[in-house]
Amino acid sequence: MKIIHSVADLPRNLTGSVGFVPTMGAFHEGHLALMRRAKAENNHGVVSLFVNPKQFGAGEDFGRYPRDLDADAAMAEGAGADFLFAPTRDDVYPTDFVDVVVRGVTDRWEGAHRPGHFAGVATVVLKLFNLVRPDVAYFGQKDLQQCQVIRQMVDGLNVPVRLVIHPTVREADGLAMSSRNRYLSEEHRAKAPLLYACLIEAANAIRSGGNVASAEESGRSRLEQAGFLVEYFAAVSLPGMDPLTDLPGPEGTSAVIVAAKVGTTRLIDNVSL
């Protein structure tokens, strides 16, 4: 695997397809699953590692986001990546006068709780697509609303990249893997799987014809009783991320989503309906 720090060193004219996994590093099995799939389904696997300042709000964890290039490089190589592109801030933002703003799907949930976050995500992903020029890009369902934002960006701007959404990879106890899980104290780590348990419970209730609002309410209150600070717990329709008001449609057309803080760590997760 080749580590590339400068845009000038990116490979050009590779023969065959390029599968691309954009990341912010601090790799875990979720990232590695995307990398293995990108390599398995393409001739070349390219991973980018860039902690994108533009997608962090004031008071968020940009400064303390875990950074360990050597460990990440070893893991990416083990997962079959051919290139690890770890650009500098100046390479990604030679100027900073242009943002990609996706309207509509960003109105609620993460978009409402993290103002500017999705403009930061859409901007950096389009930049990385333009730099890496992949045929296929791989994203995790863990960040469900992000997937819908990227889909809107690609469709809305005629971006010639095919998107693949990979299922969420979980710990044995159900906790969705996340770079931020390493912030959790032992006590909070023990509580964290309740997020997934509540999502499953709500999804089962809704699938079996239960009232959506009461499924949301019981998920929220069970989490609050356990000490979580719940930002949202909601059933939504896809791809628009609008609140689900009626019975869910065919499988995969809606989901239950949650964002909650345990201690100072903010966790998000979702399950398909």
Determine, following the binding rule CB under 6 A, whether residue 87 of this chain makes contact with ligand AMP.
no
Nearest to 102, CA basis, from 48, 51, 157, 144 = 157
The residue range among 91-99, 105-113, 126-134, 176-184 that interacts with ligand AMP, by the rule CB under 6 A, is 176-184
Q: Among residues 126 and 177, whose Cβ is nearest to ligand AMP? A: 177
The residue range among 72-80, 93-101, 165-173, 181-189 that interacts with ligand AMP, by the rule CB under 6 A, is 165-173
Residue 40 bridge partners (DSSP): none
Catalytic option among 28, 31, 113, 166: 31
Q: Residue 262 belongs to what H/E stretch?
A: strand 254-262
Distance CA(197)–CA(131), nearest Å, equals: 40
Q: Contact with ligand AMP (CB under 6 A): which of 169, 236, 259, 273?
A: 169
Q: Please report how close the Cβ of residue 200 comes to ligand AMP at its closest, in angstroms.
A: 16
Site track for ligand AMP across 123-162, x = CB under 6 A: ----------------xx-xx-------------------
Distance CA(160)–CA(157), nearest Å, equals: 9
Site track for ligand AMP across 179-218, x = CB under 6 A: x---------------------------------------
Determine, following the binding rule CB under 6 A, whether residue 34 of this chain makes contact with ligand AMP.
yes
Active site includes 44?
A: no
CA-to-CA separations, 78 to 3, 30, 82, 160, in angstroms, rounded: 14, 14, 10, 29
Give CA 125 to chain center in angstroms: 12
Nearest to 26, CA basis, from 86, 70, 66, 61 = 66
Distance CA(51)–CA(222), nearest Å, equals: 34
For residues 107 and 148, the answer to whether their CB atoms sit within 8 Å is: no
Determine, following the binding rule CB under 6 A, whether residue 177 of this chain makes contact with ligand AMP.
yes
Residues designated as active site = 31
| Binding interface with ligand AMP (CB under 6 A) | 23-24, 30-31, 34, 139-140, 142-143, 166, 168-169, 176-179
